[in-house]
Amino acid sequence: MQILETPRLILRELRTDDADALALVLSDAETMRFYPAPFDRTRVEQWIARQIHRYAENGHGLWAVILKSNDELVGDCGLTIQNVEGQNEIEIGYHVRRDQWGQGLATEAARACRDLGFARLPVERIISLIRPENLPSRRVAEKNGMTVWKEVPWHDLPHLVYAIRREQALGK
């Protein structure tokens, strides 16, 4: 099911048959350097299953990012619920295949997800949780209009909570 369209991208729900294409993103050691380890095939399949569960449960999750020019899956991006210090927050997350970095694709997808989130969900704030050393991801959050709200331990590691409020997102 298609969720969003931007100038260069389609965001659609992930499917089980996306595992090969998504493994090229999530099994890459450099892409996953801020994670405990790159994903093996089982983890990629579990990742997809988790998003499919989220679509059913919450109406959103991480979606497949498809390049319109050639129909290729080049990443994921979307909206998930994360519990930060006891409070549920809507988070924008993103991963882009390494050969596609630096063209603004993550920013294009993330902005569309931000606008969809504020349009569809009754939230006052949307966040991104990012390791302080993950400078490319921080830059995407900044280009998405977010600023650092606070730092929290997250899965046992320090993370910056980037945030944008609804009124700030208007007109961005």
Q: Which residues bind ligand COA (CB under 6 A)?
A: 31, 34, 94-96, 101-107, 130, 134-137, 139-140
CB 129 within 8 A of CB 161: yes
Rounded CA separation 52/46 (Å): 10
Taking alpha carbons only, the member of 31, 35, 32, 93 closest to residue 60 is: 93
Rounded CA separation 8/43 (Å): 28
| Comparison of 13 and 76: residue with beta carbon closer to ligand COA | 76
Q: At what angle do helices 41-58 and 19-26 cross, to 10 degrees?
A: 110
Sequence-distant (≥ 6) Cβ neighbours of residue 94 within 8 angstroms: 65, 75, 76, 77, 106, 109, 110, 137, 140
CB 157 within 8 A of CB 121: no
| Comparison of 3 and 109: residue with beta carbon closer to ligand COA | 109
Q: How far is the CB of 34 from ligand COA (least distance, A)?
A: 5
Q: How far is the CB of 160 from ligand COA (least distance, A)?
A: 9
| Comparison of 59 and 104: residue with beta carbon closer to ligand COA | 104
Q: How far is the CB of 57 from ligand COA (least distance, A)?
A: 22
CA atoms within 13 A on the CB side of 95: 26
| Comparison of 53 and 139: residue with beta carbon closer to ligand COA | 139
Q: How far is the CB of 89 from ligand COA (least distance, A)?
A: 14
| Comparison of 5 and 167: residue with beta carbon closer to ligand COA | 5
Q: How far is the CB of 129 from ligand COA (least distance, A)?
A: 6
- Helix (H) or strand (E) holding 88, with range, is strand 87-96
